[in-house]
Amino acid sequence: MKLNELKHAKLKGWVEDAVALMTPDSVEICDGSKAEYDRMIKTMVDAGLGVALNPDKRPGCYWFCSDPSDVARAESRTFIASRKKEDAGPTNNWTDPDELKATMKGQYKGCMKGRTMYVIPFSMGPVGSDIAKIGVEITDSPYVVFNMHIMTRVGVKVLDVLGKDGFFVPCLHSIAKPLGPGEKDTVWPCEPDVSKKFISHFPDSTGDFKYEIWSYGSGYGGNALLGKKCLALRIASVLARDEGWLAEHMLILKLTNPQGNVKYVAGALPSACGKTNLAMLIPTLPGWKVETIGDDIAWMKFGKDGHLYAINPEAGFFGVAPGTSDHSNKSAMDSIKKNTIFTNTGLTEDGDIWWEQIGYPAPGKTITTWKGEKVPSPKTDKAVAGQEIAHPNSRFTVPASQCHVIAKEWEDPKGVPISAFLFGGRRATTIPLVNQSKSWVHGVFMGSITGSEITAAALDIKAGTVRRDPFAMLPFCGYHMGDYFAHWLKLGKKAQDEGNGDKLPKIFFVNWFRKDKDGKFMWPGYGENSRVLAWMFDRCDNKDNCLETPIGFLPKPGSIEAPAGTSAETLAELTKVDIDGWKKEIADIKDKHYSQFGDKLPKELYDLLDVLEKELHA
């Protein structure tokens, strides 16, 4: 499709302005077809920028490797450029929107010379659903085009819904590497200087569009596939605040008990803490079943019946590869056997991918690392300090429809009713295996104090240290985090005032990552987490399986059966209140976390912190 065939005048004008600024050699409007997908991949493979994997082993699969500067989300280069600084809050980088636009326009000038500009109309959520939103991404990266094909719904059908004047979020992206005449691409064209990358969000622009996303210099998924973190979380969280719904960094799973009863659970865990594994879990508990609705993002609205309904706005999974194995996530391993894009994994001699903790040693004599070096094949799949075959944040991109445990209702435009929320983090100490909140407000309190050890999903922060990541939304909330807590409280209060308090999801906090004094994990995790899900399921039915404590409702002894290899004492340790640990936790929350929100911190939350402190000291 050609630019002059676009029927939406505002969209056409926006693309024309981008063409004038970025001066590409040609423009293509993406139609979302399989032929387009294949052509985009071929463009890159023919140019030596990607490798087709062995079709006998991984049919339809490709291997790409990025520049070392471009392996993860760039949090220090991610901006919420609201008109007023206080609207971005203390947890976001803020810059004046006019200044930022002036700087970025300078960078965008001529940035697509020698390249094709692709215009990608996409829908987050099933095309035409009431909950879905449309975005249009302009990019100069074929890699972005085919990944967007997997992660969103792309193409002409979206333009049809958009009509002549429908609402869309404009998303500008460039890898920032114009090509001179005859110049050839390097392996992963991008702006290698991290300080020149920008992932900018304008949540209250005064120009032609109220919401805008401008990304420059990075080709990495979270920075470049703008439907995901930028639109479906940062901008959508602002829309959700304004329109009375929730846009959350949550997986959605369908849990069926041995009697065939179903409950839907939405869970927020920070990046690279196992959301994909949990969404696809294979229960060890006999008779229980988990099916997947989504693994990263949930959009939720209250239905007329007072229940909260969730959709997965995405169409694919952009999962962390290392650690994924038949043991940790057999369903993911089965899903990625075909038609999958691998980025920054290792490449075996026989044309297959490999990563640390994949469950088997690397075959062959040598293996190619994500940096393109040939090294001896490791004899085990264990991660070795100082050696990376796969980058720790290497990824697979796979269509959700290819997942064997995808729930049949995963694309239902009205969504699924949520019975429980689960928050969690990666914590070696203090935080119990599972804990239910005493009320909605207490649940919001739990979400607001979430802490987690940092993983490799972001550049520029030190892996391993604990940081507060409220609701797992720290890098993704598009406005002041104090207002975000207030939004959650407001929605709960509204439901209660309307007589629907009992239909609100129950709220739980989990921690699969406790370690003993020798540094060994105390809980086996993965399929054994079904024991915790089963306990939560019964809590939603108000079964008598808990004890009230100052921090919340903990499992009654015997209400969770210890898995093989976990002693009764260990389970008791995992489900008790660590009074000294919590005292330290409270002090840290008061001094370093809540203190940053000033007047914007809802009083109800501070009051709960005081109550907890008093009870622990009693």
Q: What is the DSSP letter of 165?
A: T
Q: How far is the CB of 535 from ligand OXD (least distance, A)?
A: 27
Q: How far is the CB of 475 from ligand OXD (least distance, A)?
A: 7
Find the helix or strand (DSSP H, E) in which 318 lies. Answer: strand 316-320
Are the beta carbons of 199 and 230 closer than 8 angstroms? Answer: yes
Q: Which is nearer to ligand OXD, 271 or 530 (CB)?
A: 271
Q: How far is the CB of 511 from ligand OXD (least distance, A)?
A: 18
User: Binding marks (x or -) toward ligand OXD, 221..260, rule CB under 6 A?
Assistant: -x--------------------------------------
Cα 84 from Cα 16, distance rounded (Å):
30
Burial 173-210 (b: 16+ CB within 10 A, else e): bbbbbbeeeeeeeeebbbbbeeeebbbbbbbbbeeeeb
Among the options 61, 111, 171, 273, which is catalytic? 273
Which residue carries 């210890």 as its tokens? 562
Q: Give the N- to C-terminal CA distance of the chain in Å, as an integer.
A: 71
Q: Which is nearer to Mn ion, 53 or 224 (CB)?
A: 224
Residue of closest CB approach to ligand OXD:
271
Q: What is the DSSP letter of 403?
A: -
Which residue carries 């990552």 as its tokens? 513
Q: Please tell me whether residue 457 binds ligand OXD under the rule CB under 6 A.
A: yes
Tell me which residues in 177-216 interact with ligand OXD (CB under 6 A).
none
What is the torsional sign of CA 282, 458, 358, 405? Answer: positive
Are the beta carbons of 549 and 303 closer than 8 angstroms? Answer: no
Q: Of ligand OXD, Mn ion, none, which one does residue 480 interact with (CB within 5 to 8 Å by kind)?
A: none
Q: How far is the CB of 472 from Mn ion (least distance, A)?
A: 8
User: Binding marks (x or -) toward ligand OXD, 279..308, rule CB under 6 A?
Assistant: -----------------x------------
Tell me which residues in 235-274 interact with Mn ion (CB under 5 A).
271
Q: Of Mn ion, ligand OXD, none, which one does residue 101 interact with (CB within 5 to 8 Å by kind)?
A: none
Cα 437 from Cα 328, distance rounded (Å):
28
61 is catalytic: no
In SS3 terms, 480-496 reads as CHHHHHHHHHHHHHHHH
Q: Of ligand OXD, Mn ion, none, which one does residue 325 interact with (CB within 5 to 8 Å by kind)?
A: none
Q: Please tell me whether residue 73 binds ligand OXD under the rule CB under 6 A.
A: yes
Are the beta carbons of 268 and 279 closer than 8 angstroms? Answer: no
Question: Residue 594 burial (CB < 10 Å; 0-12/13-18/19+)?
Answer: buried
Are the beta carbons of 9 and 99 closer than 8 angstroms? Answer: no
Are the beta carbons of 45 and 51 closer than 8 angstroms? Answer: yes
Q: Of Mn ion, ligand OXD, none, which one does residue 318 interact with (CB within 5 to 8 Å by kind)?
A: ligand OXD
Q: Which is nearer to ligand OXD, 159 or 171 (CB)?
A: 171
Q: Of ligand OXD, Mn ion, none, which one does residue 457 interact with (CB within 5 to 8 Å by kind)?
A: ligand OXD
Helices (H), 2-141: 9-22, 34-46, 85-88, 97-108
Tokens of 505: 């999801």
Q: Which is nearer to ligand OXD, 19 or 466 (CB)?
A: 466
Phi and psi (nearest 5°) for 445?
Answer: -55, -50
Phi and psi (nearest 5°) for 540?
Answer: -65, -25
Q: Which is nearer to Mn ion, 15 or 224 (CB)?
A: 224
* DSSP 3-state of 397: strand
Tokens of 286: 């006999």
Q: What is the DSSP letter of 499?
A: T
Q: Site for ligand OXD (CB under 6 A): which residue of 188, 211, 318, 485?
A: 318
Q: How far is the CB of 321 from ligand OXD (least distance, A)?
A: 12
Q: How far is the CB of 317 from ligand OXD (least distance, A)?
A: 9
Q: How far is the CB of 458 from ligand OXD (least distance, A)?
A: 7
Q: What angle do CA 228, 234, 236 make, to 5 degrees?
A: 85
Q: Identify which of 169, 179, 174 has the alpha carbon closest to the alpha carbon of residue 138.
A: 174
Q: Of ligand OXD, Mn ion, none, which one does residue 440 interact with (CB within 5 to 8 Å by kind)?
A: none
Q: How far is the CB of 60 from Mn ion (least distance, A)?
A: 25
Q: Please tell me whether residue 296 binds Mn ion under the rule CB under 5 A.
A: yes
Cα 182 from Cα 304, distance rounded (Å):
60
Q: Please tell me whether residue 70 binds ligand OXD under the rule CB under 6 A.
A: no
Q: Please tell me whether residue 471 binds ligand OXD under the rule CB under 6 A.
A: no
Cα 177 from Cα 190, distance rounded (Å):
6
Q: Please tell me whether residue 352 binds Mn ion under the rule CB under 5 A.
A: no
Q: Please tell me whether residue 295 binds Mn ion under the rule CB under 5 A.
A: no
Q: How far is the CB of 592 from ligand OXD (least distance, A)?
A: 23
Tokens of 529: 């987490």
Name residue 22's amino acid: M
Cα 176 from Cα 185, distance rounded (Å):
12
Size of the residue set binding ligand OXD (CB under 6 A): 6
Rg (CA), the chain: 24
Q: Please tell me whether residue 271 binds ligand OXD under the rule CB under 6 A.
A: yes
Q: Which is nearer to ligand OXD, 271 or 324 (CB)?
A: 271
Q: Which is nearer to ligand OXD, 11 or 320 (CB)?
A: 320
Tokens of 113: 């010379």
Q: Which is nearer to ligand OXD, 140 or 296 (CB)?
A: 296
Q: Of Mn ion, ligand OXD, none, which one does residue 388 interact with (CB within 5 to 8 Å by kind)?
A: none
Bridge partner residues of 375 (DSSP): 367
Q: Which is nearer to ligand OXD, 321 or 504 (CB)?
A: 321
Cα 400 from Cα 408, distance rounded (Å):
11
Q: Which is nearer to Mn ion, 271 or 559 (CB)?
A: 271
Q: How far is the CB of 224 from ligand OXD (least distance, A)?
A: 11
- Positions that interact with Mn ion (CB under 5 A): 271, 296
**Residues labelled as active-site residues:** 273
- Positions that interact with ligand OXD (CB under 6 A): 73, 222, 271, 296, 318, 457
